[in-house]
Amino acid sequence: MKISEAAEEVLERMWICTNENNMVHVSLGSLGLNESSPQIQELLEIENITISDTNVSLTDEGAKNGRLVVRRHRLAERLLVDVLNTKDKYVHSSACEFEHILHRGIDDNVCTLLGHPSTCPHGKPIPEGECCKKARDELEQFVTPLSLLKKGQRGKIAYFNMKEEDKMQKMLAMGVLPGIPVNLVQSYPSYVFDLNHTRYAVDREIADSIFVRIERD
């Protein structure tokens, strides 16, 4: 059954309040609504929320739906900014309209189109969809951190995941670049690997942050 746009807005705000702002319940007043408002009635009817006194809480079903609305909203923002090149001040309002259109299926398609982004343009996390999990699992079969490579296994460097930029800069300068073939020689007490004709030794922390696309036999 389709939830009305107004009810979706409520779920969205409720989800952000409880999941990102750590509030246990939200008062009706702060939503600007009362118990007889049509969207509250609708949500009560489909058991997405419960009300005690004037406080509203999400049910499990409500939380699931709210999460999807947030996901659609933030995906919509990404789409507007990255693909459609929308000006900053219009992003939010356009996304609010967009989120109601991107229904089941379409959101995953957009997500795939955008390359499964993890944050919205404002830096907030985008809740993961089925498509993201699937893509990651597929990728993980072939791409693994250097530290998980087996001795003697070969591959090519895929990407880095380093917190500090100057560490990455050092690796780049030393010739550890995406696309270069790598061969793990030893993994204890330190990780030793060959890149072309040079041998390197690194510690666990760095080996964890170099990702390798494994060559299949």
Partner 1 sequence: MLSILKKKRCCGQEDEIQSDLERIILVGNPNVGKSVIFNHFSDSYAIVSNYPGTTVSISKGKGRIDGKEYNIIDTPGMYSLLPITEEERVSQSYLFDNDPFVYVHVVDAKNIQRMLPLTLQLIEAEVPLILVLNMMDEATERSIEINASRLEQELGVPVICTTSIKGEGLDKLEEAISKYSFQHVDSKVVYSRGVEYAIESISSLIQDEYGISKRTLAQLLLQNDKVAFENISQKGEDVDAIKKIIDGTEKEYNNPLNYVLTIERQAFVNDIVENVMTTRKRDVTLTEDVEKSSRTSLRERIDGLLIHPVTGIPILILVLYFGLYKFVGGFAAGTVVDYLEGTLFGEMINPWVVESFNAAVPYPVIQDLFVGEYGILTQAVTYAIALIMPLVGAFFIVFSIIEDTGYLPRLAMLIDRAFKKMGMSGRAVIPMVLGFGCSTMATMVTRTLETKRERIITSMLLSLAIPCSAQLGVILGILSFSGKALFIWAIVICLELVLVGYLSSKVLPGASPSFFMEMPPLRLPKLSNVLIKTYSRMQWYFLEVLPLFVVASVLIWIGRLTGVFELAVQLFSYPSQWIGLPAEAGVMFLFGFFRRDFGAAGLFDMYNAGLLSDINIVVAAITLTLFMPCIAQFMVTVKERGVKIALGMAAFIFPSAFAVGFVVNYVLTTFGVVL
d(CA 186, CA 158): 20
Give the 3-state secondary structure of residue 55.
strand
Among 38, 47, 109, 178, binds partner 1 (CB under 8 A): 178
The one segment of 9-17, 55-63, 85-93, 175-183 that binds partner 1 by CB under 8 A:
175-183
Site string for partner 1, 25-64 (x = CB under 8 A): ----------------------------------------
d(CA 61, CA 99): 19
Burial class (CB in 10 A: 0-12, 13-18, 19+), 89: exposed
Q: Is 189 in the site for partner 1 (CB under 8 A)?
A: yes
d(CA 1, CA 15): 20
CB of 109 vs partner 1, minimal distance in Å? 22
The one segment of 33-41, 86-94, 123-131, 198-206 that binds partner 1 by CB under 8 A:
198-206
Burial class (CB in 10 A: 0-12, 13-18, 19+), 68: buried
d(CA 169, CA 55): 52
Among 125, 192, 208, 213, binds partner 1 (CB under 8 A): 192
CB of 111 vs partner 1, minimal distance in Å? 17
Q: Which is nearer to partner 1, 58 or 171 (CB)?
A: 171
Residues at the site binding partner 1, with contacts judged by CB under 8 A: 165-175, 177-178, 185-186, 188-190, 192, 195-203, 205-206
